[in-house]
Amino acid sequence: MDLSEINPVLLVASLMVAATPLLLAAIGELVVEKAGVLNLGVEGMMIVGAISGFAISVETGSPWLGFIAAAIGGAVLSLLFVLLTQVALANQVASGLALTLFGLGFSALLGQGYVGVKPPSMGEIHIPVISDIPVIGPILFQHDPILYLGIALTAAVWATLKYTRVGLILRAVGENHDAAHALGYKVIKIRILAILFGGACAGLGGAYISLIRVPQWTEGMTAGVGWIALALVVFASWKPWRALLGAYLFGGITVLQLNLQAAGVAIPVEYLAMSPYIITILVLVILSADKSSAPASLGRIFHASH
């Protein structure tokens, strides 16, 4: 065992990278659930975002266009969910599961010609002076732009939900859609916008995996991150900063346990492998002791006639 081989600076830097896809997907789903919609299709939207972003950035040579395409791809797929649950009033759980199954298959089809292709690199933001500060520089100021976007998005969602009228309306729709409807808010329209936002975020998260974290396209490459994001939203009690904490905790322990293994720490590997899940759940369960609960209308179908 040689713990000195673990470089804490690199560790923190790589945990932020590992956490970003999860964070992006979780923030999107958080907004969707705050609006009272349970979309279990996160995994499907992520993988479609991963391939749309990958394909477009390979074709155009621009990772930026790739990320925009990924957001659009995720949002377009979520339109299918909109059609099923908001227009046809289908069951949200079943529709969400269908969306994941469809997304996984559809992305495999789209990705046929992209196996083994290398995407253009996005590069890191390098700010003179600041990025070169020892320790803090590599941790905070030497990442790709999308990682910062994830943090900015968390802050924006938090501020919007807490301080703005838009946030208030969104929460009202999620807590009691009949009352919101009686007040004259367009429940369906607001929910559709929330679902599209969730789809776009999931798409970004997927593209982060295929363009930055791995970077390549392989079928099924999101490998369950979407499901973890869903669980994270619940354990974070629908609070954006807790989702960020949860994502960093999960990403951090995932990377840390690999580091410990490589350094030869004599903890049985099975415990290390399950530690990200257990510790994330534990911490978030302890935090959620303040009785914050799910949006009251979560998963319920709304129709103006009721």
Partner 1 sequence: MKFTSLLTSAAMALGLATTAMAEDKTKVGFVYVGPVGDGGWTYEHNKGRLAVEEEFGDKVETVFVESVPEGPDAERVMTQMALEGADLIFTTSFGYMDPTINVAKKFPNVKFEHATGYKTADNVSVYSARFYEGRAVQGHIAGKMTKSNTIGYIGSYPIPEVIRGINSAYVHAKKVNPDVEFKIIWAYTWFDPAKEADAASVLIEQGADVILQHTDSTAPQAAAQEAGNVITFGQASDMSEYAPFPRVSSIIDDWAPYYIARTQAVMDGTWESANTWDGIREGMVAIGEISDAVPADVKEEALALKAAMAAGEYHPFTGPLKKQDGSDWLGEGETADDGTLAGMNFYVEGLEGEIPQ
**Can you give the binding site for partner 1, defined by CB under 8 A?**
5-7, 10-11, 14, 18, 21, 101-102, 104-106, 108-109, 111-112, 115-118, 209, 213-216, 218-223, 225, 254-255, 258-259, 261-264, 266, 268-270, 273
Q: Residue 288: is it exposed, middle or buried by C-beta count within 10 angstroms (0-12/13-18/19+)? A: middle
Whether residue 243 contacts residue 232, with contact meaning beta carbons closer than 8 Å, is answered with yes
In the complex with partner 1, which residue's Cβ is closer, 192 or 255? 255
Rg (CA), the chain: 20
Cα separation, 34 vs 156, whole angstroms: 15
d(CA 7, CA 123): 22
Question: Which residue, 33 or 144, is less far from partner 1 as judged by CB?
Answer: 144
Closest distance of CB 243 from partner 1, Å? 19
Contacts of 92 (CB under 8 A, 6+ apart): 37, 38, 39, 40, 85, 299, 301
Residue 115 or 127: the one with the smaller Cβ distance to partner 1 is: 115
Of 223 and 285, CB closest to partner 1: 223
Q: Is 133 in a helix, a strand, or coil? A: coil
Closest CA to 203 of 52, 61, 29: 52
Residue 247 CA, chain-centre distance (Å), reads: 9
Closest approach of partner 1 to the CB of residue 222, in Å = 8
Kindly state the smallest distance separating residue 149's Cβ from partner 1, in Å.
19
Minimum Å gap between C-beta 269 and partner 1 is: 4
CB of 128 to partner 1, least distance (A): 23
Report the residue number, 159 or 269, with the smaller CB distance to partner 1: 269
| Least distance from partner 1 to the Cβ atom of residue 229, Å | 13
**Between 116 and 134, whose beta carbon lies closer to partner 1?**
116
Q: Using CA atoms, how far apart are residues 184 and 178, in angstroms rounded to an integer?
A: 10
Let me know how many helices (H) and strands (E) the chain has, helices first. Answer: 12, 0
Spatial separation of the C-alpha atoms in residues 193 and 186, rounded to whole Å: 11
CA–CA distances in Å: residue 201 to residues 41, 78, 90, 225, 277: 12, 11, 23, 13, 23
Q: Which is nearer to partner 1, 91 or 261 (CB)?
A: 261
Q: How far is the CB of 144 from partner 1 (least distance, A)?
A: 12
Q: Give whichever of 10 and 278 is closer to partner 1, judged by the CB atom.
A: 10
Show the tokens assigned to 24: 């992006």
In this structure, what are the phi and psi dihedrals at residue 180, rounded to the nearest 5 degrees?
-60, -40
Nearest distance from C-beta of residue 68 to partner 1, angstroms: 22
